Amino acid sequence: AQTVTQSQPEMSVQEAETVTLSCTYDTSESNYYLFWYKQPPSRQMILVIRQEAYKQQNATENRFSVNFQKAAKSFSLKISDSQLGDTAMYFCAFMKHSSATNKLIFGTGTLLAVQP
């Protein structure tokens, strides 16, 4: 069975600084997808970034980038130039490749507070 672990329940960062959120996972699958979702106080789950395990290049979306270490089963999220609007709960999630269920396995989340 797959598991996703986020070991940082809460983090804080000053506006305009950089912060890294950690995520590790466990799987015996060789091909899979990893995601970071953002959940602001509005509760809406918003996809931040997506990484395909067979791609060695780390995914990047504007100020958001990941450090994907497949051998170490690590998938951290780096947020550069943090903004007040980045304040949210961040979830790391795993999905098997070509899953018949499209089931996402979520971590327990990291609450990020961006301070002015």
Partner 1 sequence: NAGVTQTPKFQVLKTGQSMTLQCAQDMNHEYMSWYRQDPGMGLRLIHYSVGAGITDQGEVPNGYNVSRSTTEDFPLRLLSAAPSQTSVYFCASSYQAGFTGELFFGEGSRLTVL
Q: Which residue has the tokens 């550069």?
A: 80
Token pair in block for residue 44:
């809406």
Ranges within 45-64 binding partner 1 (CB under 8 A):
45-47, 50, 52
**Contacts with partner 1, 8-47, as mask; x by CB under 8 A:** -------------------------x--------xxxxxx
112 forms part of the interface with partner 1 (CB under 8 A): no
Shortest gap between Cβ of 116 and partner 1 (angstroms)? 27
Q: How many C-beta atoms lie closer than 10 Å to residue 59's C-beta?
A: 19
70 forms part of the interface with partner 1 (CB under 8 A): no
Buried-exposed string 45-55: b where 16+ CB fall within 10 A, e elsewhere:
eeebbebebee
